[in-house]
Structure 1
Amino acid sequence: MKVLLTGATGFVGRGLLESLSAAPEIRVRAVVRSVPAGFPPVDVCRIDGLSASQDWTEALQGIDVIVHAAARVHVMHEMANDPLSAFRAINVDATLNLARQAAAAGVKRFIFLSSIKVNGEFTPMGRPFTEDAVPAPVDPYGQSKLEAERALHQLAGESGLEVVIIRPPLVYGSGVGANFASLMGALYRRRPLPFALVDNRRSLVARDNLVDFIRLCLNHPKAANQVFLVSDGEDLSTAALCRRLSAALGVQPRLLPVPVVALRALALLTGKQAQMQRLLGSLQVDIGKARRLLDWRPPISVDQALDSVARWYRESGR
């Protein structure tokens, strides 16, 4: 099997590339802007960037499956004057351009790494998102991913290209950045955090579990033209995540019992409602479809994944 992987230098893409390149039955062609240091010795296709006019003829030669992990990702501080147009240009138009050329070139399957943001930002406690839930994206990133999904489904119906949509929640693992890395840093330095009373539930997915699921979808016959939600299979409160991540880091957490209503009031006063809501609200996903249809189980537990990312964090000298 020959796989074309876009976003090969990204957080998820690099993990998937390392896994695929170690499999003797799989040949990988990685799409990159430039080859970074330590990059696996695989076939490489260099492009300047994703666009609706990119010619993929050479890159698609001999390809059986595409894993499209490249995207304009969600950003906390948006600089574009028209964010939705900026997201659409990459996540919708460029994606559909690649998929159309793939269909014409005889590629069998197109795996699209979407986002749980297609479903929405929050769930009531104990009522997780499912694949059948009505999509409710609330930001331009989520909207662009939904539009891309719909365009790909339409193309699948018209061309026979098999499309697989995967919507992960927050992905963590060695090399993780952004908010998860900031939380690890605060815990490792034993900074006081006001989350002892937070009793929400959030689904996460370890990169190793997500990579395992993507690999399963490369050729599983029942994955064709399906949408899947994926997670570690265990949901954690913010307080529980802090405690278990602290244990993995080998430190005692300093969690303060601040009432949730006080945290919400503080977020309102400081204009940080969105950031605080991610720590206080729930976002759960149901992976029952992946279990039933593909007989998939997350291969590593939450604690194993936290141990791995904590070991990376300590060894990286951050």
Structure 2
Amino acid sequence: MLDSILLTGATGFVGQAVVRRLVSDGCLLTAVLRHNSSAIDKRVITSQIESLDGDTCWEDSLSGINVVIHCAARVHVMGEEVADPIAAFRKVNVEGTFNLARQAAKAGVRRFIYISSIKVNGESTSPGTLFTAFDIPAPVDPYGVSKMEAERELQALAMQTDMELVIIRPVLVYGPGVKANFLNMLSWLEKGIPLPLGAINNRRSLVALENLVDLISTCISHPAAANQVFLVSDGDDVSTTQLLQHASKFLSKPSLLVPVPSALLSAICYVFGRRSFAQRLCGSLQVDISHTRDLLGWKPPVSLQTALHETVKYYLESKK
């Protein structure tokens, strides 16, 4: 018997890919939307809500559902403008998430899959050290704190009810249609702008959109996924310099990377108040996915090289 699945965040970068995968798999899918969208596959049932917070009524949306995949969130943004960021994040990511989960448990939902963030673990790893699913959480920014608090609320609820909980903490997700800093990087490289990023020897874990979606699909019914936390990556870490070199190759552009020492780059960023940017650019963040591999018998279906090539290909075709 096919699972009847409710998906939040269906129009987002990850959510759209989840829709494509589940429709392809023949799942009975209901997508929750705040606004009507012509982008949603016609084979998907849609359900509309006005907001995602502690007061949202999910009764109609949850009718007949046995699995919830919760992708929707107030996401981390650069240049936060609200007066109280942590309160804004908590309203959606903590109160909104717990409200949905509480009503899901009451409605008899069998499994709740929560797409969290590696920011729950922290912002960086020291050389030779990898984040694991069993680390004591150490979030730094309001977004990471809100994700950690949501996880704790969900874990407490799972202990009190029969609803199973699966928590997935992705690292930076990339793939066809990616935006933000990853898209900016491709644009800079395509334009042939010389970048002072040719001597960064950090290590970064990334996860291709296809790999993340495959893990989410696996967790829908895998019995061993119940009440577990999973980290996910491509399993092939790269430095910032290597990532740019690979992308340049797929763009068929020369790699104009000037070998400026990363310590100097970090110092310049600190002077201009861009400490977090320096950390993402020059610092390391690696995850250990052995728990995910071993418990689920799962492995990333696509390599970093293949996924990056597809990302660049989509980027170039979208500009035509």
What's the TM-score once normalised by structure 1's chain length? 0.98
Q: Aligned AA for 1:263?
A: L
8 Å Cα contact 2:197/2:260 also seen in 1: yes
**What whole-Å deviation, never above 9, does each CA across 1:167-214 have from its counterpart, x for those lacking one?**
001000111111000001111111111111100000000111000000
Deviation at 1:160, TM superposition (A): 1.4
Question: What residue is the counterpart of 2:184 in the other structure?
Answer: 182
Deviation at 1:35, TM superposition (A): 2.8
CA distance in 2, matches of 1:106, 1:261: 54
Question: What residue is the counterpart of 2:159 in the other structure?
Answer: 157
Whether 1:291 aligns to 2:288 is no
Q: Aligned AA for 2:34?
A: R
Question: What residue is the counterpart of 2:193 in the other structure?
Answer: 191
**What whole-Å deviation, never above 9, does each CA across 1:122-161 have from its counterpart, x for those lacking one?**
0012211001111100011000000000010000000111
What's the TM-score once normalised by structure 2's chain length? 0.97
Q: Which runs of 5+ in 2 are unaligned?
A: none
Pick aligned residue for 2:260 from 235, 258, 261: 258
SS in structure 2 opposite 1:171? Answer: strand
Which ranges of 4 or more aligned residues in structure 1 deviate by more than 4 Å?
none
SS in structure 2 opposite 1:30? Answer: strand
Q: Which runs of 5+ in 1 are unaligned?
A: none
8 Å Cα contact 2:270/2:278 also seen in 1: no
Point out the more displaced range, 98-107 or 27-36.
27-36
Q: Aligned AA for 1:140?
A: P
Percent of residue pairs bearing the same amino acid type: 51
Question: What residue is the counterpart of 1:31 in the other structure?
Answer: 32
SS in structure 1 opposite 2:167? Answer: strand
Q: Aligned AA for 1:247?
A: K
Whether 1:275 aligns to 2:265 is no
SS in structure 2 opposite 1:163? Answer: strand
Q: Aligned AA for 1:154?
A: A
Q: Aligned AA for 1:310?
A: V
Q: Aligned AA for 2:305?
A: D
Question: What residue is the counterpart of 1:60 in the other structure?
Answer: 62
Pick aligned residue for 1:100 from 95, 99, 102: 102
Alignment of 1:108-127 (within 5 A): 108-127=110-129
Deviation at 1:268, TM superposition (A): 2.0
User: What is the Cα-based RMSD across aligned positions, in Å?
Assistant: 0.9
CA distance in 2, matches of 1:192, 1:23: 44
CA distance in 1, matches of 2:115, 2:255: 34
